[in-house]
Amino acid sequence: MKDMGELQYFLGIQVHCDRKNRQLQIHQNGYTNMILERFGMENSSPVSTPLATGTKLVKSIMEDNTVDQKQYQSNVGSQMYAMLCTRPDLAHVISQISQYSTNPSTIHESAAKRSLRYLNGTRNFGITYDGKRGLILEGYSDADWGAGEDRKSISGYIFSLAGGAISWSSKKQSTMALSTTEAEYIALVQAAKESIWIQRLLQELGYTATNSNVIYGDNQGSIALANNPEYHARTKHIDIQYHFIRECIQTGKIALEYCPTSDMVADGMTKAMARDRHVELLAKMGVGSIMGTTTPSLKSKQTAKIGIMKDSEELDRFDKTLHHHEIAKKWE
């Protein structure tokens, strides 16, 4: 094993560690510039939000003009990697445009390009973790009832540690919710499972976070439903798996607390926000401009590309090693 020094670059993620101010910052400035060039959007007009408010995407019909499927999937997939690593603000738009990869139309393509225009204006954005704030884990869960094209609701959650987002999700629910309370209740279950996983991970690493079992929700009905088993008679139609959260509350693994919608950080995971609200939520996620990141020169672009190529080569070597190891085990 060789000590390579402090981590600065890994799989397209750039890492800045400021020990003096006890801050850790991650961003994908180089990767963002690369995908903007790939799709010819490096000189596009920036927009302030990834998805326009009120946007409702629907499946293509016979009369719609379709676009190249592989190009569209490549566009969505490239943005998805940025979203998974350092850009929770892209979670909702990616969850929307990725649903139409089978038969994309020009409308879907426009939504995907708008997201690239947003990336163009925020290419130096990343997540900042502030050690001065301590290990305080904050979890938020939200849902947008009946927001899907098929009238299924959208669940969203986000967890932050030391002031920066560490886990987030925006996903359409698999079952049909009959009320706002039910949609929020189902969303709380998904957030509870993620919270338990994060708590166990921190314990294995030897850390204990403050407020680690608390999840904030903005629907008092769903919180009462989870805390009060007497409501069971009214909720027999809800799948048994979603009552898992009641057991978690009784055992103390999870505690639910109410917060007003104005303080709900996961609001941006479930719907498109106006500019002012979007900026407000970015700050609460710990997402913002990373100092020292500028539009890279040709040399730095080449360096970023070489880094990504090296990462790919390392992954290929790992896959080959794993493959040979599995073959050897079969012969033992």
Could you report the per-residue pLDDT of 255-283, keeping only the tens digit for each?
A: 999 999 999 999 999 999 999 999 999 99
Structure tokens that stand for 297 in this block: 């020169």
CA 50 to each of CA 41, 102, 110, 256, 278: distance values in angstroms, whole numbers, following the listed order: 14, 22, 11, 30, 9
Q: What average pLDDT score do residues 304-332 get?
A: 47
Q: Which tops the pLDDT comparison, 320 or 124?
A: 124
Q: Are 160 and 141 in contact (CB under 8 A)?
A: no
- Check pLDDT > 80 for residue 332: no
pLDDT score, position 171: 92
**Alpha-carbon span 153 to 165, nearest angstrom:** 23
pLDDT score, position 317: 53
Summarize pLDDT for 62-109 with one digit per residue, the tens: 778 888 999 999 999 999 999 999 999 999 999 999 999 988 999 999
pLDDT score, position 117: 95
How far from chain centre, in Å, is Cα 321? 31
Summarize pLDDT for 293-313 with one digit per residue, the tens: 654 444 444 444 444 444 445
pLDDT score, position 265: 94
Q: What is the mean pLDDT of the chain?
A: 84
- Check pLDDT > 60 for residue 320: no
Summarize pLDDT for 134-143 with one digit per residue, the tens: 889 999 999 9
pLDDT score, position 239: 65
- Check pLDDT > 90 for residue 227: no
Q: What average pLDDT score do residues 123-144 get?
A: 92
Q: What average pLDDT score do residues 38-42 get?
A: 92
Summarize pLDDT for 50-62 with one digit per residue, the tens: 999 888 888 888 7
Summarize pLDDT for 185-208 with one digit per residue, the tens: 999 999 999 999 999 999 999 988
Q: CA triplet 91, 297, 9: central angle to 5 degrees?
A: 50
- Check pLDDT > 80 for residue 110: yes
Structure tokens that stand for 321 in this block: 């090693």
pLDDT score, position 205: 92
Q: Comparing C-alpha atoms, which of 271, 266, 259 is closest to residue 281? A: 266
* CB-CB neighbours of 44 under 10 Å: 17
pLDDT score, position 331: 42
pLDDT score, position 67: 87
Burial class, 25, CB count within 10 angstroms (exposed 0-12 / middle 13-18 / buried 19+): buried
**pTM of the predicted structure, to 2 decimals:** 0.82
Q: Comparing C-alpha atoms, which of 82, 166, 125, 115 is closest to residue 288? A: 125
Burial class, 227, CB count within 10 angstroms (exposed 0-12 / middle 13-18 / buried 19+): middle
What contacts 306, CB < 8 A, 6 or more positions away?
none
Work out the percent of the chain whose per-residue pLDDT is above 70: 84
Helices then strands (H, E): number in the chain? 9, 10
